[in-house]
Amino acid sequence: MSFSLATWNINSVRLREPIVLKLLGEEAPDVLCLQECKSPVDKIPLEGFQALGYTHMVARGQKGYNGVAILSKIPMIEAGAEDFAQLGHARHIAGRLENGVTIHNHYVPAGGDVPDRDVNEKFGQKLDYLTDMRDAFRASAPEKSILVGDLNIAPREDDVWDHKKLLKIVSHTPIEVDHFNQVMEAGDWHDVTRADIPEGLLYSWWSYRAKDWDAADKGRRLDHVWATGDIKAAAHSSRVLRHARGWEKPSDHAPVFATFDL
């Protein structure tokens, strides 16, 4: 069974339903994982997605904030939802495909503006969320699993537009990268995107603040696709759909794709 997967922080699934439909219509991934849906589950606009063949969904939602959903053409059942760091936020949902693959969809807290938990509660919440992820994977090693989402960390020097300038900026600080790497190690997770695209600058997010995001190109790779070691060799064809950042009323994130032969 071969299936394609995309992950996308949509920044409101209801506001940006037209570009979700555009992506599904033009790119047709078998599975689409969305973050920051900003909608209760019962308000997610399913009718248009279902008309395009996405008849399966698992999700967690809340009004105005957070929210995660997995849309699938392939039969899928819910496989859990964790409240890491006990924040009471809708930040994780898991689905299991008929081939036994589990897909974890995460929206890690952004962490606010100041990288110091003593003065910024949101930064502490981010670190605690990642610590809970790490501990969960240490306690129960994932198998035949994929983890995707807006993890809100750009770990590598070539995942940001200027490594030195961003070392003290939330999303690229050493303590965040250390927590990120501990999560990967704990679950034997492997970076699918960088296995396929090992060299060069690569981004999935560009700030709304830039007048011309494309020309300025001050991006960060905040959105990730991971696979456990037992299936990492099955992944291929990774890409970032950069031009989607320029669609009408865009998200500030671009979709990230991969294909798995399982």
Q: Which of 89, 106, 150, 159 is catalytic?
A: 150
At residue 113, φ and ψ (nearest 5 deg) are -105, -25
152, 222 contact by CB (below 8 A): yes
Q: Is 120 labeled as ligand-binding?
A: no
Q: Which of 89, 104, 224, 253 is catalytic?
A: 253
Q: Rounded to whole angstroms, how far apart are CA atoms 236 and 41?
A: 31
257, 207 contact by CB (below 8 A): no
Count of residues in the chain: 262
Q: Which residue has the tokens 């699934």?
A: 13
158 in active site: no
Buried-exposed string 185-214: b where 16+ CB fall within 10 A, e elsewhere: ebbbbbbbbbbbeeeeebbbbbeeeeeebe
The three-state secondary structure class of 194 is helix
Q: Is 252 labeled as ligand-binding?
A: yes
47, 78 contact by CB (below 8 A): no
Q: Which of 54, 104, 107, 190 is catalytic?
A: 107
Q: Is 9 labeled as ligand-binding?
A: yes
Q: Is 105 labeled as ligand-binding?
A: no
129 in active site: no
The three-state secondary structure class of 248 is coil
Pick from 168, 250, 163: nearest CA to 205: 250
Q: Is 150 labeled as ligand-binding?
A: yes
Query: Does an H or E element contain 185, and which?
Result: helix 174-186
89 in active site: no
88, 70 contact by CB (below 8 A): no
Q: Which residue has the tokens 């696709």?
A: 225
Q: Is 159 labeled as ligand-binding?
A: no
Residues annotated in the binding site, as ranges? 9, 36, 150, 152, 252-253
Which positions are annotated as active-site residues? Answer: 107, 150, 253
Residues marked as binding for Mg(2+)? 9, 36, 150, 152, 252-253
